[in-house]
């Protein structure tokens, strides 16, 4: 599904990402972990063609992302609040995304019902612009918008950050359900080792822009990651 070849990103003389080869299979739930500055967001930004690689390339379903925009109709992401349209209400924003992805009003309404628990009465019907919501509620809206239309590839950068514990648990349930019930390829970065090991079937550890570990998630994975980061 996603293939990385000789990918690097440098700023000045500093290499922030160096991935000679990496492949992510269709339908895989893929977790990316690492300390600040490890290269997680840089990788996602390259995957979304928000920045250009210094060398190499990324291919998403046989489309080189920096050479064509044909990957965009089946790929969605929420990296941060800059992905939102701040002067829209959540309802207007969801309608906007639905139209882009060919989802009808009826199907959108049915889709949003499943997120009532996650929204907790704080998103819909509040007559607030997205820019006026809390960081946590902006994140909820952005993540749900990224799921509209069942995209083949979903990219979420630090989805658990700025969320209260109850919402983190609800979001984890939502992501696990997507993994179990859909064919979407799910890419998630997180500092929360517990949540990401529960959600993702494969976890890659980045350190200073390079892959240090590539693990199939098992009962021992969380302990292995904790030992690595505490060393």
Instruction: Give tens-digit pLDDT for 103-134.
Output: 999 999 999 999 999 998 999 999 899 999 99
Hey, what domains does the chain have and what are their CATH numbers?
Answer: 2-230 (3.40.50.300)
Mean pLDDT computed over every residue of the chain: 94
Residue 165: closest CA among 194, 199, 127: 194
Torsion over CA: 78, 81, 83, 86 (sign)? positive
Overall average pLDDT of the 56-71 stretch: 96
Q: What's the Rg (C-alpha) of the chain?
A: 18
Q: Sorting pLDDT into bands at 50, 70 and 90, what band is 182?
A: confident
Quick one: tokens of 180? Answer: 């179990």
d(CA 40, CA 204): 10
d(CA 224, CA 215): 10
Q: How many helices (DSSP H) and strands (DSSP E) are in the chain?
A: 8, 10
- pLDDT digit string, tens, across residues 189-223: 999 999 999 999 999 999 999 999 999 999 999 99
Confidence (pTM): 0.94
Cβ atoms within 10 A of the Cβ of 217, count? Answer: 18
d(CA 53, CA 66): 9
């Amino acid at each position: 599904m996603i293939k990385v070849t000789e990918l690097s990103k440098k700023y000045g003389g500093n290499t922030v990402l160096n991935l000679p080869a990496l492949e992510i299979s269709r339908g895989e739930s893929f977790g990316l972990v690492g300390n600040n500055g490890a290269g997680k967001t840089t990788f996602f930004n390259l995957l979304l063609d928000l920045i250009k690689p210094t060398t190499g390339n990324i291919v998403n379903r046989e489309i080189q992302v920096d050479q064509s925009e044909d990957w965009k109709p089946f790929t969605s992401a929420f990296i941060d609040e800059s992905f939102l349209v701040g002067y829209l209400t959540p309802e207007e924003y969801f309608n906007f995304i639905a139209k882009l992805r060919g989802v009808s009003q009826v199907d959108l309404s049915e889709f949003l019902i499943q997120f009532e628990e996650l929204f907790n009465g704080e998103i819909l019907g509040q007559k607030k612009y997205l820019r006026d919501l809390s960081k946590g509620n902006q994140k909820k809206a952005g993540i749900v918008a990224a799921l509209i239309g069942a995209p083949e590839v979903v990219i979420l950068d630090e989805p658990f950050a700025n969320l209260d514990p109850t919402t983190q648990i609800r979001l984890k349930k939502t992501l696990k359900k997507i993994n179990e019930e859909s064919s979407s390829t799910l890419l998630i970065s997180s500092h929360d080792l517990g949540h990401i090991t529960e959600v993702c079937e494969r976890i890659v550890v980045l350190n200073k822009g390079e892959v240090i570990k590539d693990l199939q998630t098992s009962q021992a994975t969380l302990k292995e990651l904790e030992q690595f980061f505490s060393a």
